[in-house]
Structure 1
Amino acid sequence: MNLSDETTYWLIFDTNALFQAYEKKADFTIFNFNATFENVIDMINQLDIYNQVTVAIPSVVWNEMEKQIIAKHDELLLTYKNTISKKRFPEYSIQENSTINYPEYIKIRIEEYKKEISEKLNKVIEIPIASNNRFKSIVNRAFDKLPPFEGKDKKSDKGFKDALLWESILEFALKHRNSKIIYYSKDNAFGEFLLKEFTENISDSSLFICKNESEVKIQLEEWALEIDKYSYQPIEDFDENKEIIDWLNSGDFLVQIIERDYGFVEQGRLITSTTAHLVSIDNIECLNKNEDSKEYYIETTLRIEYNLKDGGNISEIINAGIQVEKLEDVVFSVEDVYRINEDEDESET
């Protein structure tokens, strides 16, 4: 078989799969992706397919994450200054360092991180921004309101970044024929329409859009079986988080996030009741722990249903960041819930 005919495997990340929740835990002296990145890398390595599967981070994603950390740094630094100016303790002495140009500072940290992840076992590449040849396609999407420009409010100017990212992936796939691609994105703009478009334009390759780690795991296992069915071993389920996962799937969790007013669900006189449904668990990270308690940061996808006075109902899909505390190794308590992505889908029945 000709070398060019061999199947190549690529795993591409969207920004929302790698985003850090700086509200709850923030270290602005460094740059890194969230725990999801390492979790997926571990899956690839456990399946022993790190020589076949290349991890790809689009330039659009790198640029967006750079802008995100700078914006969050500026916001939280101001909050921090206001806090320390109003409170003083004899046990602590806080001194302000000399002023730095943070955008320049973090750009260096990002380059260091790129080098760090590229020197490890896994192959990591950067997908360049779509060339000028794709500009006409982006313009047509905007005018025709085609995905991913089609947001919940149907505004054609919403989704330029997603369109640029999608065109970058299409151009990449056109240059890497006979490929199998996982695109890990929690964005609801990427769905059946774009899968159909990919198939029509690149018939000799396949694309799998995964919205959580479980879907990525399933697809990677299929690839591993395909690559070498004789040495294939499925990923062992790691039950470190089994207890909290069981609780997240319980009624207690769903009741807590609605009954406690965290301000992340819609309120109004036309809404008679609200219920929450867990769609997926996307990330679990232990922030702090001691003898009496543990603090977790969890990313989930939720479906929120609103029952209306006129008998109808409205539902929306949201990505939520949730802070949970486990007390005395027994009780789980939701401490905060907030939206981490405003590109929700909304439907009415």
Structure 2
Amino acid sequence: MTGEPGIDDPPWRRLDGPKMLLAVYAAVAVIALLYAASTSSVAFGAYNAQWDGSGDMRAVASENGSAVTVGTNVSQYPTTDANGTVAFVLSPGEPYTRPEVDRIERFVRAGGTLVVAEDYRPHANDLLSGVGASARVDGRPLYDTRNYDRTGAFPEVTPTGPSPATAGVETVVFNHGTVVEPGDATPLLTTSSYAYLDEDGDGELDDDESLASRPVATTEAVGAGRVVVVGDPSVFVNAMLDRGDNRQFARALLGPRVLLDYSHAGGVPPLAAAVLALRRSGWLLALCGAVLIAALVGIDRRADERLREYVRERRSPADPGRLSAEGVEALLRSRHPDWDGARIARVTEAVMSQRRKRQRDD
């Protein structure tokens, strides 16, 4: 009998095997749900901690001292006092609507910087055209036969000359990127003269594919702002930031304020979206704060009552006057194992009756 949980044992000692298993399962399920609601597997996603996510970009911007905003709507682009704000668009998975493009164009022309990184999807070129930039992403796979990291699909590219956008950068490593047709823009990064565009996608240099140095990143003025185009969004993903000088390149592009535009990148996790909504809405944040305070007050009262009861029971476990009916019955059984059930029930009822009478007298 001494090995069995009793009335004076803590709550976890009172759980039998099935209940304990259920409690563990419930805890694991809650943790899994919270993790799923706060993370994402979307490529280039801000809340994707895997190799193809861009969660580390937020850390890079924060370490740089930039004020970081994770954008879920183009309404977050400032159209006044945009100077000093740098917005990043990494391989949008959906096209921007005309009103959305107009909003981003006003941001750029008001002095903002727009960084568009793309390789094969078509939506970036539509955005570039809409905001008035002349550079375009080519879309054909880029290889280098001599200057690369691991394989020719990871070409090493270098700055074309001094520029604030490439300050401290010697080599940037691409990952299955493409080239940028500059138009009227100024090239920032270029391949070696051993690079080629894989026209047929076979990963081999064919007779109709030529070696040449090609631009892979550009910058150009649009209104009072500028547009930077990079032919590979993978430059900014978690696994690539530590290759070459990719991290320094990301830092060089940052400004005092950074907007990471994920409005067309597949969305953000529910929990992260809720947090972002709270940050943007003062009245919603106040409402949630009031609800939380009320809940904490209620929990505190219940916890206080349970604590007092627990202290009363633990103060003198052998005193029947401080035990519940079940506790009195358990105590009587341990002290008088020769008593039958009926007698124990009568004595227990008598003890409880006396207690109730004392409480009324008090």
- Give the TM-score of the pair, scaled to structure 2: 0.25
Name the structure, 1 or 2, with higher relative contact order (CA <8 Å, separation 6+): 2
- Give the TM-score of the pair, scaled to structure 1: 0.26
Report which of the two has the higher share of strand.
1
